[in-house]
Structures are given as C-alpha cells and as structure tokens.
Amino acid sequence: MLAWTIYISFLGAAALMFLPGGNARLARIIALLAALGGLACAAAGVAQCARHAGPGALTDVVNWPWIAELGVRFHLAADGISLVLVLLTGIAAVAGVLFSWNVEERCREFFALYLALIGGVYGVFLSFDLFLLFVFYELAIIPKYFLIAIWGSTDREYGAMKLALYSFVGSAMVLVGLIAAYVVSGAKSFEWVDLARGPYPAAFQYWAFPVVFVGFAILAGLWPFHTWAPTGHVAAPTAASMLLAGVVMKLGAYGALRVAMTLFPIGLHAWQDTMAALAVVGIVYGALVALVQQDFKFVIGYSSVSHMGFVLLGLMTLTQIGFSGAVLQMFSHGIIAGLLFAVVGRMVYDRTHTRDLAQLQPMNLHQVLPFAATTFIIAGAASAGFPGFSGFVAELQVLVGAWKSFPWLAVLAAAGVLVGIAYTWRVLLKAFFAEGAVDRRDLPRLEPISAPERAGALLLLGTTVIIGLWPGLLLGLIAPALDSPLLQPLWKGGAR
C-alpha cells in the first residue's frame, strides 16, 4: 500500500506532462487528486503498519531484485520513523497544492515538478536499500531547482543554483561514504540491514561518519552549512518553500539518522559532542538572526534553521527520549513551517507584493486579513513551542534528552527557545499590527482569503493541534522503532 504513495506521485507527474498546455484547472485538479491519493495511501499504510508495531518492526512493502551485479534491490519498507515522516509528506503535499491554487503560468509543469519532488521524498523515507535511498535523494534535487528557478521570486536563479549545488555537494559526500562503506564492509549488498552490521574498523568510522553525516546534514541546515536555506526559501514560490522547509530539510535529518548514525556508531560517539555543539549554535544563531531581519520571509527561513537545530540536537543526545523528540520535531516543524510559509508567501506576499516589515506594518493587516493574522498567531504560538501544539512535547523531549547528555547545551538551547518566542512575537506584531490608530480609509483593499487557502490552513492547523493534544498518536509509532536491535549500539554509553 505504501509503495503507491511513490507510484501515484510519479504517475501524476507524468500524466500532467501529457496534458494539453493551458488548461490550468485540470492540472490543479489532477495534482490535488494525486496528492490526496498519496495522503490516503500514507494514512492507510500507517494504520496497517501500526497494528503490527513491535520493537524494531520493519514492515516490508516491496522487495524486488534490481541490479544483481552490485547486490542492489528495490526494497521499500517502513518502520515507525518512516511512517511518521511519510504521513508528514502526505499532509504537506496536499497543503502545498491547495496553497498553489493561484499559479497561472505554466501550471502543469509546476505541478508535474511538484509531484515529482513529492514522489522522490516518499521514496527516500520508504527505501531500505541504501542505493535506492540515494537514488531518490539525488532525484529530488532537480525538481527543486526548476521550481525555484522558474516560479520563484527574489534572486531566484541564484537561490536555485545555490540550493542545487549545496544539495549535490552534500550528496556527493554521502556517495563517497556509501561507496567506502560498501567496500569496507565486504557485504555484497546495499541493504540497510546488511550494511548496518558492518563491521567497520574504528579508524574508518572516525572519518566516514562526519563525511556522511555532514553530507546529509547540509540539507538539514546544520550550521555553518545552512546558508543555502534562507536564500533558497526566500527565492522559492510558496509551495516550494513549504516543501523545502517542511519536508526536504527532514530528508537530510532522516538520512543522517538512518545512514550515518546507524552505520557508524563508533564514529558517532567520537563526534557526538562536536555535532551537538554545532546543532546548538544553529539553534541560537538562527534565532538571533531571525530577530533582526527586515524581510518577513527571511525571518521564517532563519527560524527553520533554528528549529532544525533542535532536530539535530535531539539526535545527538543519543538518548531514546532525545530521538523521540527529534522525530516528533521533524513532523511538527514540517507542518508548522508549511503554515508559516503559506501565510507569508501566499496570504500576504501574493496580495501585498512586499515582504518588507516596514512596509507591511502600516497596512494593519490584522484588520484587512483577519484569517491570515489568526493563522499566523496560532502558527507562531506553535512555532514557539506553546503547549497544546505539536512543537511543545517535541522540544521538551529534546531538552530533557539534552539535559541528560549535555546540561550546558540544554541551557543554551532553552535560551534559544526564548529567543524564538521573541522573534515570533516581534514579527507577528510588526507584520500585522500597525503602530498607532489607522484610519479605515487608509487600509489597502486586498482580495479575501480564498477557499483553498482556508482549507490548506485548516488542514495544517488541525494537524498541529491534534498532535499537540494527542502526541501519543505519533509517539506510539516512534517508540517501538527506537527499540530496534540495529539502534542498540547508539545507546551504549550515550547518556552520561
């Protein structure tokens, strides 16, 4: 069932390419159907697999021989972590299509590229053969490039190229590590299960781990390799930035977890402190820079870097609770970032054609676009980690895990949360609330929020609230996955 998420997305993309050009309506509907189909398959798959969840249970979805020469198989499977992320992709995909309802120019190419990207992302989360994972990972770079280069805004060609090159360099690093691991392990296959057994000599792991980890973490926005993220997010059209910040950055974190950390536990323990420190620097730096931005979208872009720092910190704590928080934060931030970019890009920028806070403030947008303001307030609260929304439990778990492993870093990360509240507050007030009283007549006349936008916003808001109130829904999937025997070497000597 789960494999159909990939197939439907790619079939949808292909179908869109064969549509006669110019029929935007049909293109949108096909795209929405494909996205909804993917979400339905994802949900059904999750429900099905959740019933069989045992410690480290791996549900095989598809397992076909592919390239006998190298021992590569077309192997799709899911454990709890994959299921959570697949669900995230489904929801984000549907929301993205809804928020792109107003794309008029070259509509079918836009949605074809969009669906191809979604298909690639599904593929990464479901692949348990590392060659296949790498194929999907690299495959996703090209649609990203075109989405930004063709439909983007500020500095789009530069932003697109920067993003593509950073991603490609990251995957080049992963390629080196992967090939080295294949050769050294002597395994005649690329299966995750086989490669994870190794064994790899410690000296090998000391360099292989940082190469592969950083290779993936570049896409996750690890400081100081994060510089593609703000430029890329700002340049991208709304749906692309929702996907980029919401889902694509999680590809990097997932890859780091699935490949780098599981394959090279000795290297992981050696580099744990360094990577954790970098993650915390990312949290604080991202938050501080977001605090002084004058461009609305840049604030959200840097806040994404800051939130991904939490994910990486959670992974580096090497405690079960930290991991749980990291995976939950991946889900939560995916939804919330989607919401925030949707408000900034679709609801505000598409109408006011400016992202400059100094220009937005006099417009007193909370009166003109109350739905946008309300959505942003709730999304901002969720982003700041307010309880009742999905981010709270995630960040709390990460902080608890960090406290066990690096108390001082946990304090810094908590300080980062405070700065997060500050910049969220600041941008909320500056973007939506004018200084003094504004005459009714001076307010700009903007078109009201359309139905697809409301639907998308409600979908995302509903998700973050539901998971915020019942985090057990996802925690119940994550916990058994963390008990997998293949993850055992990670915990050894983790919490000090």
Partner 1 sequence: MNSIPILTILTFLPLAGGAVAALLGPQRQRAGRNLAMAVSLLTLAAAAALWAAFDHSRGGMQFVERARWVPSLGIEYHLGVDGLGLLMVLLSALVVPFALLASWDIRENPKLYFSLALFVEAGLMGTFTAQNFIHWFVFWELSLIPAFFLIKIWGGPRRTAAAYQFFVYTMAGSVAMLAAFLAIYAAAGAFEFGQLSDLARRGGLFAGRAMLAGAVFAGIFLGLAVKVPLVPFHTWLPAAYTEAPTGTAMLLTGAMSKMGVYGFLRILLPIFPAQMQALETPLLWLAAATIVFPAAAALAQKDLKRMVAYSSINHLGYCMLGIFAAAQLAGPGAEGVNNKAAALNGVILQMFNHGLTASALFYFVGLIEQRGGGLRGLNDFGGLRRAAPVFCGLMGVALMASLGLPGLNGFPGEFLIFKGVLPLAGWAAAISTLGLLLTAVFLLTILQRVFSGPLPERWSRWPDLTAGERWALAPVIALIFALGVFPQWLAGVSNPAVLQLMKLF
Partner 2 sequence: MNPFLECLTALAPEIIVVSTALIVLLADLAMAGGKPVARRAGLAGAITCLGCALAMAWAGLMPCSAHVAMLAVSPVTQWLKLTLLLLTIFAAALSWGGRFTRHVGEYFALLLLAAAGLMLLVSSDNLLLIFVALELLSVSLYALAAFDKSSAASAEAALKYLLFGGMSAAFTLYGISLIYGITGDLQLGYIAARLRGQPAEPVFYAGLVMTLIGFAFKLAAAPFHLWAPDVYEGAPTPVASFIASGSKVASFFVLARILLTAFPAARGTAAASDYQAGWVPVLAALAAVSMVAGNVAAIVQSNVKRLLAYSAIAHAGYALLALVADARHTLAALLFYTITYAFTVLGAFAVVAVMEQSGRRGNLADFEGLGRRAPVLSFCMLVFMLSLAGIPPLAGFFGKFYLFVAAAAAAPPLSLLWLVVLAVAASAVSLYYYLQVLKQIYAVAPSPTAAWPRPALSAQAAIVLLAGIVIVLGCAPDLLLGKITDLLRSHPF
Closer residue to partner 2, CB minimum distance, 157 or 442: 157
Closer residue to partner 2, CB minimum distance, 67 or 451: 67
Regarding 172 and contact with partner 2 (CB under 8 A), the answer is yes
Regarding 139 and contact with partner 2 (CB under 8 A), the answer is yes
Nearest to 246 by CA among 80, 461, 96, 384: 96
Give me 363's structure tokens.
């417009």
Q: Which of 142, 180, 400, 466 binds partner 1 (CB under 8 A)?
A: 400
Q: Under DSSP, is residue 471 helix (H, G, I), strand (E, B) or coil?
A: coil
CA angle 134, 137, 139 (to 5 degrees): 105
Contact of residue 11 among partner 2, partner 1, none (CB under 5-8 Å per partner type): none
Touching partner 1, residues 432-491 (CB under 8 A): 433, 435-436, 471-472, 475, 479
Regarding 331 and contact with partner 1 (CB under 8 A), the answer is no
Give the shortest CB-351-to-partner 1 separation in angstroms: 17
Q: Under DSSP, is residue 62 helix (H, G, I), strand (E, B) or coil?
A: strand
Backbone angles phi, psi at 75, to 5 degrees: -115, 110
Regarding 19 and contact with partner 2 (CB under 8 A), the answer is no
The span from the CA of 271 to the CA of 209, in Å, is 8
Closer residue to partner 2, CB minimum distance, 171 or 304: 171
Contact of residue 464 among partner 2, partner 1, none (CB under 5-8 Å per partner type): none
How many Cα atoms sit within 13 Å of 303 on the Cβ side?
36
Regarding 164 and contact with partner 2 (CB under 8 A), the answer is yes
Touching partner 2, residues 48-87 (CB under 8 A): 66-70
Give the shortest CB-193-to-partner 2 separation in angstroms: 19
Contact of residue 393 among partner 2, partner 1, none (CB under 5-8 Å per partner type): partner 1
CA R_g for the chain: 21
| Contact call for residues 217 and 257 (beta carbons, < 8 A) | no
Give the shortest CB-142-to-partner 2 separation in angstroms: 6
Regarding 437 and contact with partner 2 (CB under 8 A), the answer is no
Give me 149's structure tokens.
């280069």
Tokens 């979604």, residue located = 118
Regarding 7 and contact with partner 2 (CB under 8 A), the answer is no
Contact of residue 418 among partner 1, partner 2, none (CB under 5-8 Å per partner type): partner 1
Residue 487's alpha-carbon distances to 55, 104, 358, 418, in angstroms, are 11, 48, 50, 33
Q: Which of 48, 138, 227, 350 binds partner 2 (CB under 8 A)?
A: 138
| Contact call for residues 395 and 266 (beta carbons, < 8 A) | no
Give the shortest CB-306-to-partner 1 separation in angstroms: 18
Give the shortest CB-397-to-partner 1 separation in angstroms: 6
The span from the CA of 354 to the CA of 331, in Å, is 30
Contact of residue 433 among partner 2, partner 1, none (CB under 5-8 Å per partner type): partner 1
Tokens 């950073």, residue located = 166
Regarding 187 and contact with partner 2 (CB under 8 A), the answer is no
The span from the CA of 103 to the CA of 237, in Å, is 10
Touching partner 1, residues 365-384 (CB under 8 A): 367, 370, 374, 377, 381
How many CB atoms lie under 10 A from the CB of residue 303?
A: 29
Closer residue to partner 2, CB minimum distance, 211 or 327: 211
Q: What is the DSSP string of 266-328?
A: HHHHHHHHHHHHHHHHHHHHHHHHHHT-SBHHHHHHHHHHHHHHHHHHHHHT-SHHHHHHHHH
Residue 99's alpha-carbon distances to 102, 244, 467, in angstroms, are 7, 14, 22
| Contact call for residues 34 and 12 (beta carbons, < 8 A) | yes
Nearest to 232 by CA among 312, 330, 329, 341: 341
The span from the CA of 351 to the CA of 443, in Å, is 13
Contact of residue 149 among partner 2, partner 1, none (CB under 5-8 Å per partner type): partner 2
Regarding 183 and contact with partner 2 (CB under 8 A), the answer is yes
Q: Which residues bind partner 1 (CB under 8 A)?
A: 321, 324, 367, 370, 374, 377, 381, 386-388, 393, 396-397, 399-400, 403, 414, 418, 421, 433, 435-436, 471-472, 475, 479
* Chain contacts with partner 2 (rule: CB under 8 A): 66-70, 131, 134-136, 138-139, 141-142, 145-146, 149-150, 157, 161, 164-165, 168-169, 171-173, 175-176, 179-180, 182-184
